[in-house]
Structure formats: C-alpha cells, structure tokens
Chain A
Amino acid sequence: MSRVLVGVKRVIDYAVKIRVKPDHSGVVTDGVKHSMNPFCEIAVEEAVKLKEKKFIKEVVAVSCGPTQVTETIRTALAMGCDRGIHVEVSGKDYEAMGPLQISKIFAALAKKEEASLVILGKQAIDDDCNQTGQMTAALLDWPQGTFASEVTIDGEKVKVVREIDGGLETIKISMPAVLTADLRLNTPRYATLPNIMKAKKKKIATMKPADLGVDMVSRVEVLRVDEPPTRLAGVKVETVDDLVAKLKANGTI
C-alpha cells in the first residue's frame, strides 16, 4: 500500500512572548520553550487518521535541524507515526535554512522513500513563509492540495477541500501528491504517557543533506530584525470642533 511523509518543524512555542535580540540579528531562542509547529501537529494528526482508516500503511515523520529536533520527532511518534528521519543541519546552515532547502530535502526523501503523499503544515508560525509545500510539489512535479480543511482518499485520487478567500474550493488530484494542512483540518490528539513511552522504542534514522544530494546554500540573507513600533497613546479631545481641527492639523483631512 502506501507510505506518507510528514514534515514537523521545531519552533518557539505559540504561547511564548517573543523578544528580539539586542543586536537585531534575530529573536531570542536560548532558554525559550520550543514545541511542534501547530500546523505540523495537524498534518501529523491527519496522517495518523489516514493510517487508522487503513488508507496508508506507514507514516514517517521528518524534521531538519540540530539534535533538539529529535524531541519534535518523538512527539510525532507519540501521536502515532511509525518511524522518524532526522536530517542533521546545524550552525550557520540551520540559521540560513529556509523553504527552498527544506523542499529540496523533502523532494529527495519522497523519491527515496517512495511516498504516496507528503503532508506538511501550511506554514510555520516563526517565519510564516507558506512556501515549503508548494516548492516541494514543484520540485517533484506532483499535484498539490494546499490549505486543506478536508482530505478524502478515493482510490488513486485525493479529494481536497481547500480554504480560499472566497470560501471553500474542492479539487481532485492524483497521487502521489503534496498536501498542506490548514487549521480546520482536524483537532490534533494529545500525546498520552503510554504512547510517549512506546515512542521511545520507535526508530529515528539520521542523515545529512549531502546524503540526499542537497546543497544547503541559501541565497537569502537576513539583514535586520526589529520589533513592531510601540503603539502610541491616543489623544482625547473635548469637542467635535477640536477633533476636526486636529485632523486638519495633521493632514488627515
């Protein structure tokens, strides 16, 4: 039957208050709580659901980064994935890592693992790129079902209901395909203690991008990171005339 690759990204936890580093080179990550990107959780849940419904045989969780990302892979395993792949990227390569490099890695792995589906979150909450799924599909020349809020497997085809600006769009694409999960696709399950213990015994294979023939060089350089400007206090006026005068004075009217 089929194998599904699911991408999981380790990001700063959504509940943390982000702070910019004093040198404006990025955000503070040391000592800050990290967890699986929420859209990746939804992707894992969908893959595990498909396996429970017996449409697919094996779910492989993949993450790229330093040793810490294995924690995120273990969470995916505790949610029901069968095995994991850790693509080791660290140091400068990890800091410069973006959707292009990740999609090259996933394209290579999808071919190597003979996957029928690659399921990713629609975007990561740290960079908000929303590009990896689309780039992966392009590199593989596979159809893509992005912003999926409902996925149904119908033989060799997949019916995807997509969330778009105008409402919902339903498409049918052939497998193999790339899907990206949107918020309303499902509600991810909590990892329970027994499953976390079982996950410790599941295998995580390690490899480097070079093993997949992927070059990690980035053509994007981050120049500076700034916080949004602080909100200024509002000004109260006593009468409507004052309001009009003030609006005229600052050129609004």
Chain B
Amino acid sequence: MTFALRPTRRLYAHLSTSNFVQCRTIKKEHTLKNGGWERVIPAFRSVCGEDGVSLGEAVREQHGRDESVHRCRPPDVVVWPRSVEEVSALAKICHHHHLHIIPFGTGTGLEGGVGALKGGVCFSLRNMDRVLDLHQEDFDVSVEPGVTRKGLNSYLRDTGLWFPVDPGADASLCGMAATSASGTNAVRYGTMRENVLNLEVVLADGSIIHTAGRGRRPRKTSAGYNLTNLFVGSEGTLGVITKTTLRLYGVPEAMVSAVCTFPSVQAAVDSTVQVLQTGVPIARIEFLDDVMIDACNSFNSLSYPVAPTLFLEFHGTEKSLEEQVTVTEEITQANGGSDFSWARDAETRGRLWKARHDAWYAALALRPGCKAYSTDVCVPLSRLPQIIVETKEDLMLNGLTGPIAGHVGDGNFHCIMVMDPNDQDEVIRVHEFTERLASSVSLML
C-alpha cells in the first residue's frame, strides 16, 4: 500500500532552505529591528529586572534549538520572568508591539517546537521552579514550569507518590502539558491528556486564565467546556502555561522487567494484544525491531538475539506480579516467543532496560556523523503488524536506515530515520519516505 511520490515543488522549496544544517550565522536583519526594540527592551527590564533580559548571541542561540534535528532559529531576545504576574506583564508588552512569544521550558523537545521562525521574544520559564500545593490524600500537586519530571518525583519521594508519565527526557512538566507528552508508561498510566487536572495559562494579550477554575483540582468533572485539554497539546500556540495541576499515583510496591524475543513482528504484536486482552495491567510494553536490537547490541555490548523483541515491565504487589508474569510468559510462549528473561531487583532491571533507553543513541551510533529524525505514528493496534512490515519493506527498498522502537501497547511506533544531513539525495528520500508513511497511515481504518 505504499506509493512512490515524486517530490513536489513544495517539498523542494522546503528543502532548499537546508533545514538540517545546525545553527547558521545570525544575519543582521534578524537581530534588532528599526527602533521598536529600543522602547521594548527597557520595558522588559522594568518587569524582569536587569538580569532578566538578554540579547546575547550565545544565549539566544541556546534558546533557539531543542534536541531535534531542526536547525537553530534563535529569538531576538530572551526574558526570564519570575512569576505569573511578570509573564502577564511581558505578554501585554509583546501584544502591544505585535511581537511573537515563544515559551521555553527545558529545551528537550524532539520536534523543533522552540524555534523562533519569525524571531520574537523567548519566555524562558526556568526561574519559576516551585512545587506548590501538594495534596497527598487527594493525589494531586501543582507545579510551575521550571519543575521537571525527575525534580517532582524526587520532591515526592517521601510521600509514596509519583508522577509516572515518562517521555524519556527530564522535561519541564508544563512543557510536557503543552506537548501532550506520552512515553513508555502510557499504556498503564495514560498520557498528559489524562493526567492534567488544571492549567494556569497566560494568553497572548496577557490575560491569566485557569482552565478548570482557579485552585480547582477535581478528579473528574462534567462542568463546562474542557478547556484544560484544549491547551494540553497546543504546543505553545495558544498561551504560556505557568502552572499545571497534576494527577499523582502511588509508587508501585514492586516492579519486574522482562524481555522476550519473537520470530516475527506479527508474533510480537499478537502477544501484546493478547496480554492487554487478558487484563494484565502491564506498565510498559515496548517493541524493538531487529535493526534496533542489533544497534543496541553494538552500542551497549549486549547479546540479545537479533529479532523482533518486546521489553515489558510490570508494577504491583509481590503477589500480583507473580500472576502477571506467569500469564504473560504463557502468552509469549504460545506465540513462539523465546528467551523470556525477567528481573526483580533495581540493578538488573536497569540493565535489561538500558537497551531500550539508549535506543536513540544506539540508532545514531549505527552511522556516526549522522543525525536522527524521529517519526511518530499511531494506528489501531490491529493494524500495527501491517504498518510495521510495510514500513520495513519500504526502508529496504529505498536503502534507508530506520530502526524501529515503539510503544506497542498504544499502537504507537517511532521509526528513527538516521541520515546524513549533508547528503541532499538522502534527505529527499527520507522526506519522501515520511510522506508515504503518512499516506499509508491515513489510509488505515
């Protein structure tokens, strides 16, 4: 079901600005524009203080890129507000002068979300880093944008509570809300969409709103429009998130991790479907294809069989874990799975999962000097074997390097395109591939 598309003119125009070259020199016309900035910069300083505004080239470049392959697009100025009132005051100034606002959390995104494509003012929110209003018995907490996922879990370590959404990076929680982050734990705990109870947002004109009402943190509601979920995933295009109220969970009593190899992608996905159908509350179920496992073996000096593999993690009480592991092992064996190994203690579990955690770097290491361009596809579970098999055929046919890793419990996989950004032909082929992938997915019902 794959199509061979000829590159369209739009595609060529897109590529001619050589998107994949890192940070080019800042041209004069991108920096201070005629006159206008001279009024605005002092206004910013009067809000954030002298130290709270920077025009430095290095600082702007730092705030113009994230972890993605997209080139640096620096803003014209970076400001560091210290409170929601300062964010609002800055937004009002920007609104008055028609300046673009780019919110910046930790810069750990993989989608180029912080690039100031038309210049503008970067609101770096890292100085707003308080954990507010922890309600242990209600399982909720509010945090400012400077608080990261690991920072919050460290803060909570004495309470027996944690925030399980784990997109990989130690990202800002408000940033995770803005991008509707998901990750390996989504199959059991959900994504940000299911776990954000309320947001405090500063809109483009400086108005401060609370999407579920000021100070509200009900676990569920049927009242009013779901504004919270409008802003979750809005990628910073609708406002600056200055506070997020999150749903917390109890730390699992025990965890068990397991790895299992399969003779085919179909067998691995069939096992996944059956595990979910039996009602095993699996916490993580990750798929790595043979190319990815090979990369991981080389990168970490491991010796997993080079074949489609599932990495699993179970959370629960000691007794429930025994049951979960037994049921899952039976299912994997019935589907031709082999080499089922599992680990209980933190150290061995860490080693088992290291392969999966280092997947991105392992993929990059396949071709040193290359960049990685991540794709993100989600299809109904029953269509997953088909799309993965077709994708792998397409990759082979077109000589592309694309190891696959996926959150198979959600029907989601990433094909990590490893490519040489200076090889224009390869760049074009990768782009065509992603367009074909998108078409295939859109045809899946």
Name the residue of chain B whose CB is nearest to the CB of A13: B155
Assembled-state Cα–Cα distance A36/B151 (Å) = 16
Name the residue of chain B whose CB is nearest to the CB of A36: B158
Assembled-state Cα–Cα distance A193/B162 (Å) = 11
Number of B residues with CB within 8 Å of any CB on chain A:
15
Contacts of B154 in A (CB 8 A): 15
A239 to chain B, nearest CB (A): 22
Contact B155 A78 (CB under 8 A): no
B134 to chain A, nearest CB (A): 10
Contacts of B151 in A (CB 8 A): 15
Number of A residues with CB within 8 Å of any CB on chain B:
15
B276 to chain A, nearest CB (A): 25
Assembled-state Cα–Cα distance A13/B157 (Å) = 11
- If A15-B151, A187-B346 touch, whether A192 touches B251 (CB-CB below 8 Å) is yes
Binary interface profile of B, 321-358, with partner A (CB < 8 Å = 1, else 0)?
00000000000000000000000001100000000000
Name the residue of chain A whose CB is nearest to the CB of B156: A190
A29-84 residues with Cβ-Cβ distance < 8 A to B are 33, 35-36, 75, 78
Name the residue of chain B whose CB is nearest to the CB of A196: B160
B235 to chain A, nearest CB (A): 29
Contact B250 A193 (CB under 8 A): yes
Contacts of B161 in A (CB 8 A): 193
Contacts of A191 in B (CB 8 A): 157-160, 251
A229 lies within 8 A of chain B by Cβ: no
| Total contacts A-B at CB 8 Å | 35
Assembled-state Cα–Cα distance A193/B250 (Å) = 6
Assembled-state Cα–Cα distance A194/B162 (Å) = 14
Q: Among A33, A190, A194, point to the contact of B155 (Cβ < 8 A).
A: A33
Contact B250 A192 (CB under 8 A): yes
A78 to chain B, nearest CB (A): 7
Contacts of A218 in B (CB 8 A): none
Assembled-state Cα–Cα distance A15/B250 (Å) = 22
Binary interface profile of A, 178-195, with partner B (CB < 8 Å = 1, else 0)?
000000000100111111
Assembled-state Cα–Cα distance A191/B251 (Å) = 8
- If A15-B154, A33-B155 touch, whether A190 touches B346 (CB-CB below 8 Å) is no
- Of B161, B162, B347, the most chain A CB neighbours within 10 A belong to B161
- The residues of B with any CB-CB pair to A shorter than 8 Å are 151, 154-155, 157-162, 250-253, 346-347
- The residues of A with any CB-CB pair to B shorter than 8 Å are 13, 15, 33, 35-36, 75, 78, 187, 190-196
- 17 A-B pairs besides A187-B346, A190-B157 with CB distance below 8 A are A15-B151, A15-B154, A75-B158, A190-B160, A190-B162, A191-B160, A191-B251, A192-B160, A192-B250, A192-B251, A192-B252, A193-B160, A194-B253, A195-B160, A195-B253, A196-B159, A196-B160
* Contact sample, A vs B, 10 pairs, CB 8 Å cutoff: A13-B155, A15-B155, A187-B347, A190-B251, A191-B160, A192-B160, A192-B252, A193-B250, A194-B253, A196-B159
